[in-house]
């Protein structure tokens, strides 16, 4: 299936010079959405995660469904102030600014196997910060999965070299 045909390009969003890859058009297509989750599930099943960790907000969409497909739990990583209990925190740079992510300290046991999922990897800041949170929790990072990879931005190079990175579409 040609997933690129289901992903809309929005120029100059959220600021001039950024080409935003909009997955809402993929989400509304039942065949494309099923194909995306089934393909990610097939590509990630050999990683045997105990948990899928998804980042706010589009990582929630794909991560939750993928966790269900893989038969494991889902753990949300949120922006500051959204989680009610004690958290680990990691700051990161975006291609268009700075932000911070948080993970509940009691979300997972230290021996858990974790797969990080998001819709897109660009500069790798969000994914790398999430990997830092998984490390702070003492868990084993078994892989990353993304729908889209923006290859020219080199995000993959910021991730741990010994951890598999699975992507479905490259720009």
pLDDT higher than threshold 70 for residue 101: yes
Domain count across the chain: 1
58 occurs within a structural domain: yes
165 in a structural domain? yes
Distance from C-alpha of 59 to C-alpha of 107, rounded to nearest angstrom: 17
Handedness of CA 132, 134, 140, 146 (dihedral sign): negative
Would residue 35 count as lying in a domain? no
Q: Is 149 a catalytic residue?
A: no
Q: What is the CATH number of the domain that holds 110?
A: 3.40.50.2020
Burial (CB < 10 A; 0-12, 13-18, 19+), residue 40, is buried
Catalytic one of 56, 58, 78, 113: 58
Task: Give domain status of residue 41, yes or no.
Answer: no
Note whether residue 108 is domain-resident.
Answer: yes
Taking the alpha carbons of 161, 157, 101, 38 in that order, is the dihedral positive or negative? negative
d(CA 28, CA 6) in angstroms, rounded, equals 9
Band the pLDDT of 93: cuts 50, 70, 90. confident
4 within domain boundaries: no
Do residues 49 and 31 lie in contact, with contact meaning Cβ atoms separated by under 8 Å? Answer: no
What pTM, to 2 d.p., does this model score? 0.95
Range of the domain at 59: 47-170
Q: Can 21 be counted among the known catalytic residues?
A: no
**Does some domain include residue 55?**
yes
Q: What is the pLDDT of residues 23-77, one digit of tens each?
A: 999 999 999 999 999 999 999 999 999 999 999 999 999 999 999 999 999 999 9
Given 69, 78, 95, 113, the catalytic residue: 95
Q: Is residue 13 part of a domain?
A: no
Model pLDDT for residues 114-157, shown as the tens digit of each residue: 999 999 999 899 999 999 999 999 999 999 999 999 999 999 99
Residue 37 has what pLDDT? Answer: 98
pLDDT of residue 94: 64
pLDDT at residue 18 in the model? 87
């Amino acid at each position: 299936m040609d997933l690129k045909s289901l992903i809309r390009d929005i120029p100059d969003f959220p600021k001039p010079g950024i080409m935003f890859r909009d997955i809402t058009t993929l989400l509304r297509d039942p065949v494309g959405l099923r194909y995306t989750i089934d393909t990610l599930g097939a590509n990630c099943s050999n990683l045997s995660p105990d948990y899928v960790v998804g980042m706010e907000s589009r990582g929630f969409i794909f991560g939750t469904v993928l966790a269900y497909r893989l038969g494991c739990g889902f753990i949300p990583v949120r922006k500051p102030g959204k989680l009610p209990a004690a958290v680990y925190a990691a700051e990161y740079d975006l291609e268009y600014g700075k932000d911070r992510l948080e993970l509940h300290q009691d979300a997972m046991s230290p021996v858990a196997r974790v797969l990080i999922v998001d819709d897109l990897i660009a500069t790798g800041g969000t994914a790398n910060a999430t990997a830092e949170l998984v490390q702070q929790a003492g868990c084993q990072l078994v892989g990353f999965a993304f729908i889209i990879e923006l290859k020219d931005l080199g995000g993959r190079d910021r991730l741990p070299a010994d951890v598999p990175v699975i992507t479905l579409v490259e720009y």
